[in-house]
Amino acid sequence: MDRIDTGRAHPARVYDYVLGGKDHYAVDVEAGDAMIESWPSLPVSMRQNRLFMERAARHLAREAGIRQFLDIGTGLPTSPNLHEVVQRERPDASVVYVDNDPIVLRHAEALLTSSPEGRTAYLDADMREPGTILGSAAVRELFDPGQPVALTVIAMLHFIRPPDDYALVRRLLDPLPPGSFLAISTATADFAPEEISRVVREYESRGIPMVPRSAAEVGAFFEGLELVGPGLTQVHRWRPEAAQEGVAPAEVAMYGAVARKP
Closest CA to 54 of 261, 242, 253, 251: 242
pLDDT tens digits, 155-205: 999 999 888 899 999 999 999 999 999 999 999 999 999 999 999 999 999
pLDDT tens digits, 7-44: 788 888 888 889 888 878 899 999 999 999 999 999 99
For the chain, the structural domain boundaries read: 11-260
Tell me how far apart the alpha carbons of residues 69 and 199 are, in angstroms, rounded to a whole number.
31
Confidence check: pLDDT of 105 > 60: yes
Q: What is the pTM of this model?
A: 0.93
Mean pLDDT computed over 72-93:
88
Tell me how far apart the alpha carbons of residues 117 and 125 are, in angstroms, rounded to a whole number.
26
Tell me how far apart the alpha carbons of residues 245 and 236 are, in angstroms, rounded to a whole number.
9
Mean pLDDT computed over 94-110:
81
Spatial CB neighbours of 94, under 8 Å, sequence gap ≥ 6: 67, 68, 69, 118, 119, 120, 121, 142, 143
Tell me how far apart the alpha carbons of residues 106 and 119 are, in angstroms, rounded to a whole number.
18
What pLDDT does residue 1 have? 40
pLDDT tens digits, 115-158: 777 899 989 999 999 999 999 999 999 999 999 999 999 999 99
What pLDDT does residue 2 have? 47
Q: Percentage helix, strand, coil, to 5, in the chain?
A: 45, 15, 40
pLDDT tens digits, 52-80: 999 999 999 999 999 999 999 887 667 78
Tell me how far apart the alpha carbons of residues 175 and 171 are, in angstroms, rounded to a whole number.
7
CATH code 1.10.1660.10 for 11-260: no
